[in-house]
A = this chain, B = another copy of it.
Amino acid sequence: MDELEIDAVAEVELDDPVLVEGLPGVGHVGSLAVEHLLEELEGDSTLVRRIYSHEFPPQVSVEDGVSELTCAKLHAVTVPDGRDLLLLSGDHQAQTNEGHYVLTDAFLDIAEEFGASEVYALGGVPTGELIDEYAVVGAVSDESMLEALEDVGVEFREDEPAGGIVGVSGLMLGLGERRGFEAACLMGETSGYLVDPKSARAVLEVLAERLGFDLEYESLDERADEMEDVIGKIQEMEQQQQMDVPTDDDLRYIG
Contacts and interface: CB of A to CB of B under 8 A. Distances in A.
Given A67-B140, A69-B178, A165 B54 contact: no
Interface stretch (A16-24, A151-159, A200-208, A210-218): A151-159
Interface string A140-169: 111100100000000011111100111110
A170 B66 contact: no
State how many copies of this chain the complex holds. Answer: 4
A168 B175 CA distance: 25
Contacts of A69: 171, 173-175, 177-178
B252 A253 contact: yes
Interface string A32-70: 000000000000000000001011111111111111111
A82 interface: no
Interface stretch (A97-105, A127-135, A220-228): A97-105
Nearest to A108: B1
A138 interface: yes
Interface of A: 1, 3, 52, 54-70, 94-98, 100-102, 104-105, 138-143, 146, 156-161, 164-168, 170-171, 173-175, 177-178, 183, 185, 248-249, 251-255
